[in-house]
Amino acid sequence: MSLFNPWVILSLICAFLGFGYESYLIGIKHEENRQQVEIAVLNAEARQKEQALTAAVNAQASQLMKANQNAKLLQQKRNNDIDSGALRLRVPVKATVCAVSTPSDTQSANGVDSGTASAELDGETSKALIAITDEGNAAIRKLNTCLSLYNEALQTLKGK
């Protein structure tokens, strides 16, 4: 039997191809394992970021709820003061041309001359006007919370 026998050469080629194919399959399996490990690491990092974001959202939500509760208490106190007459809302008005001013008209309650005429609003109108500002303040608090959450999420996702 000679080394140049076609069956020997064919056997050697088949052996090398079989060895190469087996090595290829082993390489694929090793790559799959490496990718699985990398995916597990990335998933763990994503879970940590998710937990940090969840904690930030919960903290901001509790701060917003506390701020809203404090604002409601202040609104109730202010509304009670308006109802009792301790707090009054005055708006400036144009004085008539032929109005005669007396010294008692031009001085406010604290004795300082204001020089402008004013009208006092009734309690319900005062509360309605102030309720508009309260709604604006609530919207501003929500917006600030949203901005804080966005900035925290951005910093967390950047990894800082």
pLDDT per position as a tens digit, 62-74:
999 999 999 999 9
Query: Quick one: DSSP state of residue 98?
Result: T
DSSP state, residue 109: T
**Cα 157 to Cα 154: distance, rounded to the nearest angstrom:** 5
* pLDDT of 9 above 60: yes
pLDDT greater at residue 89 or residue 115? 89
Question: What is the model's pLDDT at position 113?
Answer: 47
Q: Using 50, 70 and 90 to split pLDDT, how confident is the model at 100?
A: low
The Cα–Cα gap between 28 and 15 comes to: 20
Which tens digits make up the pLDDT trace of 37-46? 999 999 999 9
Q: What is the mean pLDDT of the chain?
A: 86
By CB atoms closer than 10 A (0-12, 13-18, 19+), residue 9 is exposed
Domain layout of the chain by residue ranges: 50-158
Query: Taking the model in full, what pTM does it have?
Result: 0.61
**Mean pLDDT over residues 71-86, rounded?**
92
Structure tokens at 12: 């050697």
Arithmetic mean of pLDDT, 46-73: 93
In this structure, what token pair is assigned to residue 61? Answer: 């939500």
Q: Which of 19-23, 76-80, 123-127 has the lowest average pLDDT?
A: 123-127
Average pLDDT over residues 63-89: 92
Inter-CA distances, 18 with 4, 8, 14, 23, 32, Å: 20, 15, 6, 8, 21
- In this prediction, residue 97 carries a pLDDT of 60
Least confident of 31-40, 67-76, 124-133: 124-133
* pLDDT tops 80 at residue 80: yes
